Amino acid sequence: VADKAVEELRERRAKYECGDLVDEAGQQEDSPAIAEEELKNVVSKKRNKRLSDEEFDDLWEKAIGKVTTREEVEVQVETTQSVINPTDRPVPPIFQSESYRQPLSLAFRSPAPSSGQSGSHWQDIDSQLDL
């Protein structure tokens, strides 16, 4: 499995260098790099059909370590940016004034019958609290 993966990587590199490596939209790829999961799927399609998915997965787990340690294989690790911490965001100017005090408001529905003439069985309650 490791040899098949390296063979696939070599083929991708050759296609890239010749300008023949294109994506699904027909656009030329920026790099010969391939995601590990995509490489696994490509190699899996070329495997012996008598090999079950579970057997292939076991072989893949053992082989990927050998693939990444080969001198001809360059591993790129993608990092994702963490979620922005809400305290790191700038405070809007309206909230920066020391004299600004945002009114508190409550709005909810109560199952209490309404005494109003609207005929509604729900009572709307809306309060504005200014402390």
pLDDT of 129:
47
User: What would the pLDDT profile of 72-100 be if each residue is shown by its tens digit?
Assistant: 888 887 776 666 666 677 777 766 766 65
Q: Residue range 20-37: average pLDDT? A: 86
Percentage of the chain beyond pLDDT 90 is: 18
> How many Å apart are CA 27 and CA 20, to the nearest integer?
10
Q: Residue range 33-47: average pLDDT? A: 90
Is 16 a domain residue?
yes
Distances (CA, A) of 83 to 78, 79, 88, 89, 92: 16, 13, 11, 12, 20
pLDDT of 77:
78
Is 119 a domain residue?
no
Is 62 a domain residue?
yes
pLDDT of 47:
87
Is 127 a domain residue?
no
pLDDT of 71:
85
Is 118 a domain residue?
no
Count of domains for the chain: 1
Is 90 a domain residue?
no
> How many Å apart are CA 26 and CA 85, to the nearest integer?
39
Evaluate if pTM is beyond 0.75: no
Q: Which residue has the higher pLDDT, 88 or 22?
A: 22
pLDDT at residue 130 is higher than 50: no
The SS3 of residue 11 is helix
> How many Å apart are CA 5 and CA 59, to the nearest integer?
12
Is 58 a domain residue?
yes
Q: Residue range 55-66: average pLDDT? A: 91
* Residue range(s) defining the domain that contains residue 25: 2-68
59-63, 86-90, 94-98, 108-112: the lowest-pLDDT one: 108-112
Is 79 a domain residue?
no
pLDDT at residue 125 is higher than 50: no
